[in-house]
Amino acid sequence: MNVAEMIRSAGVVGAGGAGFPTHVKVNAASPECVIANGAECEPLLRVDQQVMEFHAGSVIEGLRLVMSHTDARRGVIALKDHYEGAITALRRELSGSDDIGLHVMRSYYPAGDEQQLVYDICGRVVPTGGIPLDVGAVVLNVSTLMHVDEGSRNIPVTDKYVTVGGAVRRPVTVKAPIGAPMDVLLDAAGGTTEKCGYIIGGPCMGRVVSDLSFPVVKTTGGIIAIPEGHPLLQKKSDRMSVQLIKAVCCQCSLCTQMCPRNALGLRVEPHKAMRSLAQGVDLLNGANGLFSCCDCGICTYYACNFGLKPSKVMGLLKAEMQKAGVKPRKEVYSAADRGLGMKKLPTARLIHRLGIGKYDVAAPMEERPIYTAVVRIPLKMHIGAPSKPVASVGQRVNRGDLIADIPEGALGAKVHASIDGTVTEVTGEYMEIKV
Ligand code: SF4
Ligand code: SF4
């Protein structure tokens, strides 16, 4: 089996993003540079830095496997300057080799945005509607690379490191079986200190959930408990009034000036999106730059002094364009802003603005998988077609056994049992296993 086949067999998907199947990514690629993304974007999440600290050898081995499979000449691991343990561990593992270098950044938001990383490392802008490969780069999250290395040793993806933070008694980064319900993770963190709402993912890009039976998937990075009534939860609600936008948005354009994708010359202009919504102007076909919005939320959570939500409006308009069948065109409109470095938003300032400073604490990693008596493993944790069950109700399975496969000829990922037990339910959406 070659590297891509081993990755495919292990069910590896992008752990830090939307879950694109990794075997397809490495097969399509012929890049000049492979970038290992360890610059965890979101405040409070502590997964990537600890993966690099405690699994440095595995991350590097995964990166080397991808480099050799794609014939890339250069490998770069991108991370932040305060990840001291990770920097030490990676330098120790890399000593004496010159095929892979570290790209050490200040802590700014969103440092892990792949467009920013590619520009910082390769000096080229990924066009709207394009991918990093268009400018000679492949970007993979460090946990993905660890899974690549494990896949090469016949170890499939069965667990995910997840930070459990916010208003919990003992912030922690757990190793959670895929499909474990969120309440089991919260128990592992000692439970909440008060009545809370929950964000799956980070404070900015994550989404609020009310149902704690929600399962861990291959892309889950965090669950953050935020006390009910905290302004962050209100900011994250989808409620938005066009009347309020009409009355309040003064078109100061601060949201656009602070937008990191706009600074790359990609014409992402949230103030115009606000104006078009307020005035009912049809943007379809005329705002290709909208497709480059990465939903980082700087415009909403930091830039707008009036509490408006430009990022939600961007999302709304993007969805409308997609619904109308508008496809992104590959375009870069202007050179990246020369003052880009100065414009980067320090994470500490964002944390202060979000009012979550007291939760910005360590969340130590625990290596033993947490116990759960039941998992509900979704059949679609990746981009592409849902996986097809190959195990049936009543069947005994062991952790690591294949339970759902990629449908013939489709883009997808294999799924494996994450605990030993009996399959108790198979639906079109998930498979349940009980101990
Ligand atoms: S949304 Fe806020 S920051 Fe943007 S133009 Fe309107 S008032 Fe200014
Ligand atoms: S969410 Fe706002 S700041 Fe972020 S890329 Fe989109 S428009 Fe720009």
Q: What is the CATH number of the domain that holds 400?
A: 2.40.50.100
Segment 306-330, tens digit of pLDDT: 999 999 999 988 998 888 888 888 8
Which ligand has the minimum distance to the alpha carbon of residue 298?
2
d(CA 281, CA 262): 21
For atom 8 of ligand 1, which residue has the closest CA? 252
Beta carbon of 312 within 6 Å of any ligand 1 atom = no
If asked whether residues 112 and 163 sit together in one domain, one would say: no
pLDDT (0 to 100) of residue 267: 87
Question: 389, 426 in Cβ contact below 8 A?
Answer: yes
pLDDT score recorded for residue 119 = 93
Answer yes or no: do 165 and 145 share one domain: no
- Express each pLDDT in 139-179 by its tens digit: 999 999 999 999 999 999 999 999 999 999 999 999 999 99
Take atom 6 of ligand 1 and give the residue whose Cα is closest. 249
Query: Residue 269 C-alpha to ligand 2 middle, in angstroms?
Result: 8
Cβ(251) – ligand 1 distance below 6 Å: yes
pLDDT per residue as tens digits for the range 324-367: 888 888 877 777 777 777 778 999 999 999 999 999 999 999 99
Q: Write the CA distances from 269 to 151, 256, 282, integer angstroms.
A: 42, 5, 15
In the chain, the percentage of residues whose pLDDT exceeds 70 is: 98
* Domain C-terminal end among 152, 184, 202: 152
Region 221-247: mean pLDDT is 89
d(CA 310, CA 292) in angstroms, rounded, equals 14
Mutate to test the pocket of ligand 1, among 252, 259, 299, 302 (most ligand atoms within 8 A of CB): 252
pLDDT of residue 284: 55
Lowest-pLDDT range of 19-23, 125-129, 143-147, 236-240: 236-240
- Ligand 2 atom nearest residue 294's Cα: 5
- For residue 111, being part of any structural domain is answered with yes
Task: Report pLDDT digits (tens) over 248-274.
Answer: 999 999 999 999 999 998 889 999 999
* Boundaries of domain holding 292: 242-344
CA atoms within 13 A on the CB side of 405: 7
Domain co-membership, 317 together with 272: yes
Verify that 382 and 362 share a domain, yes or no.
Answer: no
Q: Is 268 in the pocket of ligand 2 (CB under 6 A)?
A: yes
12 has a pLDDT exceeding 60? yes
In a domain? residue 14: yes
Q: Are both 133 and 8 inside the same structural domain?
A: yes
313 lines ligand 2 (CB under 6 A): no
Task: Answer yes or no: is pLDDT of 238 > 80.
Answer: no
389 and 431 Cβ atoms separated by less than 8 Å? yes
- Mean local confidence (pLDDT), 212-229: 95
CATH number of the domain to which 119 belongs? 3.40.50.11540
Identify the pLDDT of residue 16: 86
